[in-house]
Amino acid sequence: LRGDYQLSAFQSLYELIYANLLNNGACQSLEGKVFYRGSKVDAYSEIWRGEMKTQDVEFDLINESLTTQILDNSWSAKFNNSQEQKVFLRSVESKNSFPIKQCDYNLCQFYDPTIQTPASYTYANRVCFRIYDVFVFLINYYTDGTVTFTSDFFNIGGDGDQYYITSGQELREGNNWVNPEVSFKEVFEEMDKKLNLWIIIEGTVAAPVLRIEPWGYVFNDTKVLTIDDPESVKMGIDLTQLYTIINVGSEEKDYDPSDGADYPNVRFESWNDESYNTPGDCEFENNTLDLVSSWK
């Protein structure tokens, strides 16, 4: 079971949650579990686990009751509301000060594209952080290591295993101390604009797994369910997937000869922040596909 649910509490449960507020403050979470058994003779098995944020509870002090939202412990409760918080990739503590491993990095080699036949790499041993390792680190940071990350696409051997993060200063100077400060939202959106990514929650209630894959992983031709004799089948158009404007390029500044560059930013083929209109007779409100990157 995945999702967010409402909880109403009275009497002893109300007193427990109210006491938690008084003793621990509004930023203390409580864990909730749902158990199920098929019959009276069966043992109970846990089918769902979530968290209640005390900050979201509305207390009825006269009737001694409360209502609040219970958040799924794999996404909503752990970092959906804090995914914009930035963290340095070499940090060794999670959001709530639990020890975590700093982000792994690789030493990469670069060459000067203006030299047609370089005898050797111009820039060797530059520190780069592979996107897969960045996601592993960020999810450990936001969830205190309670959620695992996986990705067939970004892992070694996948089509996206060669995406890295580094800095221009590291490329120029090679000090090997580069320590990018990024957020999950920032990294995911940058990669999503290039690859059309989706987030999938897998695993168990006790060990949730967050998976990030391209669109084709989720929407493929594999049969997942057969429904015999449905009463009706209807089809419609998802207008959120139709765009009137497509923005591409980079937020970085355009070509400036004073920078010493010897090439211009050619329209549509480089990094200019540009906008293009889409043709067609569909009539709907303006819907913009934003592919503009803040990274280069």
Distance CA 69, CA 56 (A): 7
- Helix (H), strand (E) at residue 66: strand 65-72
pLDDT 10s digits, 103-149: 999 998 887 766 766 556 666 789 999 999 999 999 999 988 988 99
Q: Which long-range contacts link 61-65 to residues 24+ away (Cβ below 8 Å)?
A: 64/10, 64/11, 64/14, 64/15, 65/8, 65/9, 65/10, 65/14
Distance CA 139, CA 184 (A): 8
pLDDT 10s digits, 149-203: 999 999 999 999 999 999 988 988 888 889 999 999 999 999 999 999 999 888 8
Q: What is the pLDDT of residue 119?
A: 57
In terms of Cβ atoms closer than 10 Å to its own Cβ (0-12, 13-18, 19+), residue 134 is buried
Reported as a pLDDT band with limits 50, 70 and 90, residue 1 is very low
Q: How many CA atoms lie within 13 A of 26 on its CB side?
A: 5
For the chain, the structural domain boundaries read: 5-73, 79-218, 234-296
What average pLDDT does this structure show over 219-240? 88
Do 78 and 142 meet the contact criterion of CB atoms below 8 Å apart? Answer: yes
What average pLDDT does this structure show over 225-229? 90
Q: What is the pLDDT of residue 270?
A: 67
Q: What is the pLDDT of residue 83?
A: 87
Q: What is the pTM of this model?
A: 0.76
Whether the per-residue pLDDT at 279 is higher than 70: the answer is yes
